[in-house]
């Protein structure tokens, strides 16, 4: 028995059937056309919108991405019922003029999709006076949070500026997102050689700043799982699901897989994140279908947990 | 818990429902259901929940007979897996891994598992103890026999960045083939078709290498999903040269299906990639074995 809204199911099934019949009827003419983007149904109690906490704007430095232009990306996200996207900037990876990076990000979000795109500026702990960038993000651009990219930005989590940064974002009520990976190191451009980011140095500064809102993006942890275990046991760090791989990954991580395996991450610490436009947004949304999740679990992951941290505009 | 119970309706989120996924007739040419587990049979059965949930029509296992680590050494689970292939013949097929450092033994294994057994093809593993890639002349008797048997040929390829100076492919394991190795082999056997597995890992480079060789299919499972990668492959190779793999359970079917849904394709082209092309490739050996196949 399907447990989602029955009336909605029948409506969608009829739509599919009609489309299939049409495809048979018109044959090659339809076959030659590109599959039109499916329009999502209106939001209902059983189909809440999704808050995507891991989206990035502008140009990936190494390839022209399919949805690199902001209007196209916003349309694509909306097509999949994303109702809000926390957006960083690819410029943050390699640019030195951080103030310019943040200003462009704030402007792009405000002009292209105000209230939908929530700008997450950056600071680079390796550059002097990064504290001023925090101030501007908060006081000038009114950003809800910051996103840092250790590795691409030339520092790791042992950097002495990390604890003051965490303390500062806590004091200002900002969210701090720490990006653990942008792409598989095996396919890096030959000029890029990044050290593997060790998460364990995060534990002490997080313990020293109770109440700080810190989210790890695209985090897989080490093979043994010991760093994930330590972070979950000893800190309040939250995660996005964009890096979770393997059939039924979400269910296995939160302990709701058919195999009955124990939870590795408390449900309330999981945010939806797609890593679009580098990853197809479809992959993360389909994972919500792949794992057998109940309605409260879906609501928490799709928007409830993120909304607890950041109210709508 | 039934795999058909859903609280999430993908149609509400601009995605295919399970019924629509079933209608795509998905054939998974890269199934690792028996790989990497202490008990491969238990893992296979656990993964069937997701096979059913995501509407996969057929899974083609790449590790039938022996293991990927030791392809020529029988595994204690060989008999149980062979039995599963027979009882699940309507949903499960198998390739047997070979070791090109040992062509005679590899051919004997093909006789056992393909000609006299349930398998439909061979798999080149991602590295081997002898350090022999698919380019080496040792492969010629293996490919001649595969052609005689109408066997499908899946070749794991990667282009791992490494070495000094750093270049793609220089961090590959000994015996781990690159797309260039597949191209060299395919050039020697222009009437035989091959699958270049994983798209070389780095699809932008892998596609370029195999582009001139029309007898090579591209399969792109087992690497991260990159928006635009299937569009690029279709543009450069044509939709008829692409086959789909799921790489489960270590990769998500959601990840691998998402790659195809991201691409701007017609529904018939999606069907080709998700299963139609592989069915065409495997049809001769299915018919030879007397098995029904609907293209």
Mean per-residue pLDDT, A247-274:
95
User: What CATH class does B96-288 carry?
Assistant: alpha beta
User: Would the pLDDT of B8 be above 80?
Assistant: yes
User: Would the pLDDT of A4 be above 70?
Assistant: no
**Mean pLDDT score across all residues of chain B:** 97
A34, A259, A284: residue with CB nearest B264: A34
What is the distance, to the nearest Å, from the Cα of residue A52 to the centroid of all Cα atoms in its chain? Answer: 5
Q: Strand B167-168 vs strand B161-162: parallel, antiparallel, or unpaired?
A: antiparallel
Per-residue confidence (pLDDT) for residue A23, from 0 to 100: 32
Domain spans, chain B = 96-288
What percent of chain B has a predicted confidence (pLDDT) above 90?
A: 99
Contacts of B227 in chain A (CB under 8 A): 65-67, 276-281
User: Would the pLDDT of A28 be above 50?
Assistant: no
Tokens for B184, please give them. 């060299």
Distance CA B161, CA A150 (A): 20
Tell which wins on pLDDT, A200 or A28. A200
Distance CA A54, CA A306 (A): 11
Q: Is A218 helix (H, G, I), strand (E, B) or coil?
A: coil
Convert the pLDDT of each residue in A177-225 to its tens digit: 999 999 999 999 999 999 999 999 999 999 999 999 999 999 988 888 8
Residue pair A130/A154 in contact by the 8 Å Cβ criterion: no
Task: Look at A20-34, A107-121, B263-277 and tell me which has the smallest mean pLDDT.
Answer: A20-34
Give the residue among B21, B3, B78 at the shortest CA–CA distance from B256: B21
Distance CA B241, CA A11 (A): 36
User: Would the pLDDT of A30 be above 60?
Assistant: no
Distance CA A27, CA A69 (A): 34
CB contact under 8 A, B7 and A294: yes
Q: Is A70 helix (H, G, I), strand (E, B) or coil?
A: helix
Tokens for B272, please give them. 């080709």
pLDDT band at A39 (very low <50, low <70, confident <90, very high): low
A96 at B interface, C-beta within 8 A: no
Per-residue confidence (pLDDT) for residue A41, from 0 to 100: 61
A79 at B interface, C-beta within 8 A: yes
CB environment B241-277: b (16+ within 10 A), e (fewer): bbbbbbbbbebbbbbbbbbbbbbebbbbbbbbbbbbb
A213 at B interface, C-beta within 8 A: no
A296 at B interface, C-beta within 8 A: no
Convert the pLDDT of each residue in B41-70 to its tens digit: 999 999 999 999 999 999 999 999 999 999
Per-residue confidence (pLDDT) for residue A38, from 0 to 100: 57
Per-residue confidence (pLDDT) for residue A7, from 0 to 100: 37
A292 at B interface, C-beta within 8 A: yes
How many other C-beta atoms lie within 10 A of the C-beta of residue B137?
Answer: 11
pLDDT band at A35 (very low <50, low <70, confident <90, very high): low
Query: Which residues in chain A (233-262) have CB-CB distances under 8 A to chain B?
Result: 245-249, 258-259
Give the residue among A105, A282, A94 at the shortest CA–CA distance from A194: A94
A41 at B interface, C-beta within 8 A: yes
Convert the pLDDT of each residue in A116-144 to its tens digit: 999 999 999 999 999 999 999 999 999 99
Residue pair B59/B48 in contact by the 8 Å Cβ criterion: no
Residue of B nearest to A184 (CA): B224
Per-residue confidence (pLDDT) for residue B202, from 0 to 100: 97
Contacts of A310 (CB under 8 A, 6+ apart): A86, A118, A144, A145, A175
CATH topology for the A49-309 domain: TIM Barrel (3.20.20)
Distance CA B230, CA B208 (A): 14
Contacts of A241 in chain B (CB under 8 A): none
The arrangement of strands across the sheet holding A175-179 comes to A50-57, A82-89, A117-121, A145-148, A175-179, A213-217, A238-240, A270-271
């Amino acid at each position: 028995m399907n447990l989602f809204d029955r009336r909605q199911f029948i409506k969608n099934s009829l739509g599919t059937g009609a489309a299939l019949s049409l495809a048979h009827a018109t044959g090659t003419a339809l076959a030659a056309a590109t599959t039109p983007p499916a329009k999502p149904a209106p939001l209902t109690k059983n189909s809440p919108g999704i808050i995507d906490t891991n989206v990035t704007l502008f140009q990936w430095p190494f390839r022209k991405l399919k949805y690199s232009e902001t209007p196209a990306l916003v349309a694509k996200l909306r097509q999949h019922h994303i109702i809000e996207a926390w957006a960083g900037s690819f410029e943050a990876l390699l640019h030195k003029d951080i103030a310019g990076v943040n200003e462009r990000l704030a402007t792009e979000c405000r002009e292209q999709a105000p209230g939908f795109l929530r700008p997450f500026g950056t600071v680079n702990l390796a550059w002097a006076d990064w504290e001023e960038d925090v101030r501007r993000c908060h006081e000038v651009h009114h950003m809800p949070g910051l996103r840092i990219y250790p590795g691409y930005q030339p520092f790791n989590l042992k950097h002495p500026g990390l604890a003051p940064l965490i303390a500062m974002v806590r004091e200002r009520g900002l969210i701090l997102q720490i990006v653990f990976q942008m792409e598989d190191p095996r396919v890096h451009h030959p000029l890029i050689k990044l050290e593997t980011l060790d998460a364990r140095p995060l534990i002490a500064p997080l313990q020293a700043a109770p109440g700080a809102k810190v989210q790890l993006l695209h985090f897989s942890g080490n093979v043994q799982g010991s760093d994930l275990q330590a972070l979950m046991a000893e800190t309040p760090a939250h995660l996005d699901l964009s890096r979770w791989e393997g059939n039924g990954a979400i269910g296995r991580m939160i302990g709701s897989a058919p195999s009955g395996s124990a939870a590795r991450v408390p449900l309330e610490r999981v945010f939806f994140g797609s890593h679009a436009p580098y990853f197809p947004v479809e992959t993360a949304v389909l994972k919500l279908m792949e794992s057998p999740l109940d309605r409260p679990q879906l609501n928490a992951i799709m928007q409830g947990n993120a909304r607890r941290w950041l109210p709508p505009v | 818990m039934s795999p058909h119970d859903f609280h999430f309706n993908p149609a509400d989120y601009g995605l295919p429902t399970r019924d629509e996924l079933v209608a795509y007739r998905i054939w998974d040419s890269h199934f690792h259901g028996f790989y990497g587990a202490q008990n491969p049979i238990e893992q296979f059965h656990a993964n069937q929940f997701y096979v059913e949930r995501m509407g996969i029509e057929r899974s083609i296992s790449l590790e039938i007979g022996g293991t990927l680590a030791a392809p020529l050494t029988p595994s204690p689970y060989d008999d149980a897996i062979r039995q599963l292939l027979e009882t699940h013949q309507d949903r499960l097929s198998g390739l047997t891994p070979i070791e090109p450092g040992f062509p005679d033994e590899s051919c004997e294994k093909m006789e056992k598992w393909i000609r006299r057994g349930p398998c439909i093809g061979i798999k080149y593993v991602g590295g081997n103890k002898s350090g022999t890639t698919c380019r080496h002349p040792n492969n010629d008797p293996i490919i001649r026999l595969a052609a005689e048997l109408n066997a499908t040929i899946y070749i794991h390829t990667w282009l791992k960045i490494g070495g000094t100076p750093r270049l793609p492919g220089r961090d590959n394991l000994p015996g781990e083939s690159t797309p260039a190795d597949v191209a060299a082999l395919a050039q020697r056997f222009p009437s035989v078709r091959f699958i270049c597995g994983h798209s070389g890992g780095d699809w932008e480079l892998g596609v370029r290498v195999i582009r001139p060789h029309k007898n090579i299919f591209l399969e792109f499972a087992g690497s991260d999903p990159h928006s635009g990668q299937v569009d690029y492959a279709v543009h450069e190779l044509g939709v008829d040269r692409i086959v789909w793999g799921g790489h489960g359970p270590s990769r998500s079917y959601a990840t691998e299906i998402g790659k195809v849904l991201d691409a701007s394709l017609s529904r018939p082209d999606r069907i080709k990639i998700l299963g139609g092309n592989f069915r065409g490739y495997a049809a001769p050996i299915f018919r030879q074995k007397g098995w029904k196949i609907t293209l």
